[in-house]
Chain A
Amino acid sequence: MEDGENDGKRLVFVTVGTTSFDALVKAVVSQNVKEELHKRGYTHLLIQMGRGIYSPPKCDGADGSLAVDYFTFSSSIADYIRSASLVISHAGSGSIFETLKLGKPLIVVVNEDLMDNHQCELAEELEERKHLYCARPHTLHQTLTKMELDSLVRYTPGDGTPVARIIDRFLGFPDD
Chain B
Amino acid sequence: MDRYTPRFYIAAATDNMSLQKARSFEDSLADKLLAVEEDSLRFTQIYRSREVGQSYVTSVWTTIVAIVHALWLMIRIRPQVAGALPSGYLLDLVQVFQILCNGPGTCIPLCVIAFLFKVLGIRWSSIFYVESVARVKKLSLSGLLLYNLRMADQFFVQWPQLQKNYPRAHYVGCLM
Listed stretches B72-80, B83-91, B109-117; interface member: B83-91
Chain B: CB-nearest residue to A91: B134
* Contact for B172 among A114, A118, A119, A162, CB less than 8 A: A162
When the two chains form their complex, are residues B136 and A125 in contact, meaning their CB atoms are under 8 A apart?
Answer: yes
When the two chains form their complex, are residues B130 and A173 in contact, meaning their CB atoms are under 8 A apart?
Answer: no
Interface of B is mostly: loop
- With contacts defined as CB atoms under 8 Å apart, how many contacts are there between chain A and chain B in the complex? 65
When the two chains form their complex, are residues A166 and B156 in contact, meaning their CB atoms are under 8 A apart?
Answer: yes
Chain B: CB-nearest residue to A170: B154
When the two chains form their complex, are residues A171 and B132 in contact, meaning their CB atoms are under 8 A apart?
Answer: no
A160 at the interface (CB under 8 A from B): yes
Report how many residues on chain A are interfacial, defined by Cβ distance under 8 Å: 24
Known contacts A97-B176, A157-B176; decide if A167 and B128 are in contact (CB<8 Å): yes
Interface residues in B132-149 (C-beta closer than 8 Å to A): 132-138
A122 at the interface (CB under 8 A from B): yes
> What's the interface size class on B, roughly?
20 to 34
When the two chains form their complex, are residues B137 and A121 in contact, meaning their CB atoms are under 8 A apart?
Answer: yes
B167 at the interface (CB under 8 A from A): no
* Contact for B175 among A114, A159, A167, CB less than 8 A: A159
**Would you give 27 A-B contacts (Cβ < 8 Å), ordered by A?**
A93-B132, A93-B134, A101-B176, A119-B134, A121-B135, A121-B136, A121-B137, A121-B138, A122-B136, A124-B136, A157-B176, A158-B173, A158-B176, A160-B175, A162-B172, A162-B173, A166-B170, A167-B98, A167-B128, A168-B3, A170-B128, A170-B153, A171-B85, A172-B84, A172-B85, A172-B87, A173-B3
